[in-house]
Structure 1
Amino acid sequence: MVKSFASVNLYFTFLGVCALTAPTTVSNSSKTNNFFIQLIFLYITFPFCGNKDNIFHANSNLFPLSILGYYCVTTQNLYICGELKQSNMKRLTFLVFAMTYIMAGMARSSMNETSQCPFLDGKSISILGDSYSTFIGWIPSGYAVWYNSASTKTDVHKVENTWWWKLCDKTHCTLLTNSSYSGSTICNTGYNGTDATKSSFITRMKKDMGQDRVLQAKPQVIFIFGGTNDSWANVPLGKPKYENWTSDDLYQTFPAVCYMFDYLKKWNPGTKIIFLSNTELKAAFYTGLQEACKHYDIDLIQLEKIGKQAGHPNIEGMEAIANQIISYLNKKK
């Protein structure tokens, strides 16, 4: 009996701490709701020692239920704020569940109240990207990073400024993997005709969301944000090819794009794949990309009017990317 109620005491103490520390930083409405919930919680649980029977701390058979009240083992009576409540355990059980319900509501109110995109609400996502999706500390070790807290190239100095953080915050989706590498091309050809096999999309996908992770959790949505460096580096585009790829094929953009789509669909069955296409790329790139996406039933989001600094999205641009993704998915309902 003593152990049982000691556990209950710890449980309510934990709830009280949660009430005091529950985050209230997401939206104005959730801030207000959390403030009043916490105020009420503190009011009803504040130690009420001026009771007429002076029962608190006076009887060794009384076991404290945190600051809510006491339970008497001898009489099996429950006292809340000094007042006698009738003895049955149903009341105590109800109290436990009631407080659990209150805390669940507080946790929910700490988030945006409604997801801006029902499709992404509660889903897990992964990213296969280039510099636009990097942020220091949020990509695999050894991957080249462009965005960091000390950079003066753009005003994106916090991870909360990235497009994918904003997307998760707005839609309540969860980031599973961010396989992004600054300067990377989809195919194995890099800038100045160098061999970029080490950093290419088609190499990283195998390590981060392919056969090498076959027994690990699969994302429900994969965002591919690439092709920018293929276009900027003037690598051979080639033509879409849907089977029997050779190693030489994979040094050209469109055969590599098709190979990538085929591979990701094979090793991530049931996962929705969405390709994000940057602005200001070669017209030929858009044409080939549209053909490949149509063949593999890949959603293609052609981004527009993205604010940039030094060729990379600034905070305004990151916001635009997140909003355009949400707008596209909401229209597909």
Structure 2
Amino acid sequence: MKKVSFSILGILFALCIYAHCPAKVSILGDSYSTFQNHVVPDTNYVWYFADANEPDRTDVATVDDTWWMRFITRSGLQLEQNNSFSGATVCNLGYEGNDYSDRSFIRRMDSLGKPDLILVFGATNDCWAKVPLGKKGSDDLYTFIPAMDKMLRELPSLYPDARIVFMLNDEIQGDMRKAIIELCRDNNTACLQLQNISKRQGHPDKAGMLQISDQLTDFLHDNGCCRRKCHKQDK
């Protein structure tokens, strides 16, 4: 992938902000996007802790190691809200057939503040919990496809001025991956297909967090950093 130097990156994002492009970022996520004391509301479960990582979990030891803080810091953008919940599924069904309607993505998607850019990083737990795929057009929100479709359809109405990007975990494969890509296409949602992310115990480690940040940065530049015209500057 084409890389952009930090100095040029800062200039590009400054130009985007000056042109009223994304300045405030909100995250709708699961464990991959959590860190102790850095999610809203604070009752959301987290997976990354400052004092309980390696070797039990990963080497991510500070919030500055997370993919989202790396991205926000290097781009000069502002965090509006991080509404991430460890273990959460997109749909209302969770592990062992439990009701996750209190934490699902479709339950939390209306609580993101007033962002200019929304990064949705989910579906990993739907995959791991082996929730039923369901069918598009169904109103069964305890299945994946109807819930994912609802989320992608309603986010633009909830946040009409925000650019929305869905971040697809590289280990989600098969029919669920195909469904996500098709739903993003059908709902005109940008879909970042992450590649070869370093993980421990199924979760991004420090190297993986950097890879996610890098791939997100490249993706936004390659696809336009905002809904309005905002292209890279010629060298």
Same fold (TM over 0.5): yes
- Separation in 2, partners of 1:315, 1:280: 17
Letter in 2 for 1:283: G
Please say if 1:301 is aligned against 2:197. no
- Separation in 2, partners of 1:116, 1:149: 28
The equivalent residue for 2:71 is 167
Matches within 5 A, 1:12-27: none
**Cα distance, 1:281 vs structure 2:** 1.5
Alignment check: 8 A CA contact 1:126 1:178 kept: yes
Higher helix share: 1
Please say if 1:228 is aligned against 2:111. no
Unpaired runs of 5+ in structure 2?
1-5, 18-22, 224-230
Matches within 5 A, 1:1-333: 113-116=7-10, 118=12, 122=17, 123-139=23-39, 140-152=41-53, 153-206=57-110, 208-209=111-112, 218-241=114-137, 246=139, 249-332=140-223, 333=231
1:38-85: CA deviations, max 9, x gaps? xxxxxxxxxxxxxxxxxxxxxxxxxxxxxxxxxxxxxxxxxxxxxxxx
Alignment check: 8 A CA contact 1:250 1:256 kept: yes
Identity across the alignment (%): 38
Distance change in 2, residues 1:253/1:224 (3 Å)? same
Instruction: Tell me how many residue pairs correspond in the alignment.
Output: 209
Distance change in 2, residues 1:138/1:117 (3 Å)? farther
The TM-score, its normalising length taken from structure 1, stands at 0.60
Letter in 1 for 2:187: Y
Alignment check: 8 A CA contact 2:30 2:86 kept: yes
**Cα distance, 1:171 vs structure 2:** 1.0
Other structure's SS at 2:114 match: coil
Moved more, 175-184 or 276-285: 276-285
**Cα distance, 1:135 vs structure 2:** 0.4
Distance change in 2, residues 1:197/1:117 (3 Å)? farther
Alignment check: 8 A CA contact 2:13 2:76 kept: no
Other structure's SS at 1:222 match: strand
The equivalent residue for 2:227 is none
Letter in 2 for 1:134: T
Q: Greater Rg, structure 1 or structure 2?
A: 1
- Separation in 1, partners of 2:69, 2:164: 18
Q: Which has the higher contact order (CA 8 A, sep 6+)?
A: 2
The equivalent residue for 1:40 is none
Q: Cα RMSD over matched residues?
A: 1.6
The equivalent residue for 1:78 is none
- Separation in 2, partners of 1:113, 1:274: 24
**Cα distance, 1:116 vs structure 2:** 4.8
- Separation in 1, partners of 2:136, 2:168: 17
Unpaired runs of 5+ in structure 1?
1-111, 210-216
**Cα distance, 1:271 vs structure 2:** 0.8
Alignment check: 8 A CA contact 1:128 1:179 kept: yes
